[in-house]
Chain A
Amino acid sequence: MTDRFAIGSLHGETPSCRLPVGDGAAIIILALFIIFVISIPKFDLAGALAFAAIPLLLFTATPVPLAPVLKRLVIVSPFILFMAVGNLFLDRSTALTVAGIAITGGTISATVIVLKTLLTLSTLLWLMACLPFHRFGMALRSLRVPEVFVTQLLLVYRYSFLLAEEAAMMQKARDLRSFDGRGKGVVVTAKLIGSLLIRTTARAERIYMAMSARGFRTALDSRPAGALKANDFAIIALAGTLFGLIRYLF
C-alpha cells in the first residue's frame, strides 16, 4: 500500500523537473490536454497517436522515472480493458483493409480507447511525479478550490502513509496467528476494521490538540494563495493553440 504512494515521493525538486509555468497553470494545461484527447472521435487512431507526442516529450525531456508510471498503467483498470474488448467483439464491420488483412471497426475503436487511457493517465501521473503534493494543494488554492477541500486533501495524503502502516501491522499480526485461513472471515475483519477506526479517531484527537497548540484553526496554510500571472495565461493560451493545432492537423 505504501508503495502505491511511491509516485508522490518521486517528485524531488530537481532543477530539470522544474516546471516552466506556475503550478496552477500546469494543472489547467493538463486539463486542457485531457479534454482535447477525450474529444478525439471514436475511430480516429491517427489523432490519438499524434497526441502521444506530448507525454513522450514530457517523459523524455524530464528525469521522471518511467517504471512506477508504467506499473500503474499496466494494472490500470480491468474495466477499461473489458470495455475495449467489448468493442472488439461487438463491432466486426470491416473498416479498412491493409495488405489483404481486414481490420474491423471494433479493433480501431478498442485501440483508440486504450490509447486515450494511456495518454491521459500517463500525463496526469507525470505531473504528480513532478509536483510535490503540498505545492499541488497551493495550486488548487490559487485556482479558487474551497479551503476546506484543499485542507482535506492535504490531510488525507499526509495520514494515508501512517494509517497504512498501522493497518499493515494489524493485518500481519492477524495472518501470523491464523491457521488454515481461520480468523480471516468477515466477522473478525469487521472487528479489526472497527478497532482501526477507534484508533484512528483517537489519533485524530491527539493530532488536533497538537495542531491547535501550534496555532491551527481551520486551514493548514495561512499564506494567501497567489493568483495566476500574465505569463501563466500566455503559456496556457499557447498550449491550447498547440493542442488545437494537433487536433486539427491529424
Chain B
Amino acid sequence: MNMCPDHIVHYMHEYLDGDISQEHELELKEHLQDCSSCQQHMNELSKAVAFVQSASHIAAPSGFAEGVIARLPKETSKVGMKRWFHHHPMLTAAALFMILMSASLFSSFNDDQQFSFTKQPNIVVEGEKIIVPAGETVKGDIIVRNGDIQIDGEVEGNVTVINGSLMASSANVTGEIEEINQVFDWLWYKIKSIAKDTASFFEGE
C-alpha cells in the first residue's frame, strides 16, 4: 500500500521529536500534501502522542513518605541528639552552663580537702586545730578549711569554718560566725562570696 520512501516516516518522528531540519520539514510537508496514506500515518502518530499525554497526573498515595522513613535503616542516636540541640539552642546553652558550673563547684568542694586557714598573728596551730589562746585578740577575719577552731580569746572580725567545727567558749567574736559543712551551704557560700567580690569590685571602681 505504501509507495512512499522510508525516510518520510523517519522525518515524521524527527518532526515529533522537535529536532527536524528545515529541509526535512519542507520535504515532509510537501509529501503529506500529496499522500493521503502518509497523512493518516502522521495523524495517527500525533493522536497516539496526544492519547498518552492525556494521562492524568496522579499523586503518590497518602502516607507514602512515612512509609519510606519507616523502611530506612535506623538512624544513629548521635544525630538525633544533634538535631535536638539544634532545635533548642537556649536549653542546650543553659544545660551546658549548669553542667560546667556544677562540675567546677563540686570539684572545688571535693578537691579542697586540705587543712588551711587564714594566717593571723597570735594564733596557735595544733594539728588540724586552730586555737585563739585566752587573753589574745585577733584583729581581722579568720577562715578555716577542713579543720576546727577553738576560740578562747577574742576575734575582732568574722569567723568562717568550712568542713570543721567551731568551739567558742563564749561569744567573743565581734563579727559573724559561720559553719559550712554541706554541699548546699558550700554552694551558697561560693555564690555569696562571688557576689561580694563583684560588689566590692564595683565599689572599688
A pairs with B: no
Report A's interface with B, CB cutoff 8 A.
Answer: none
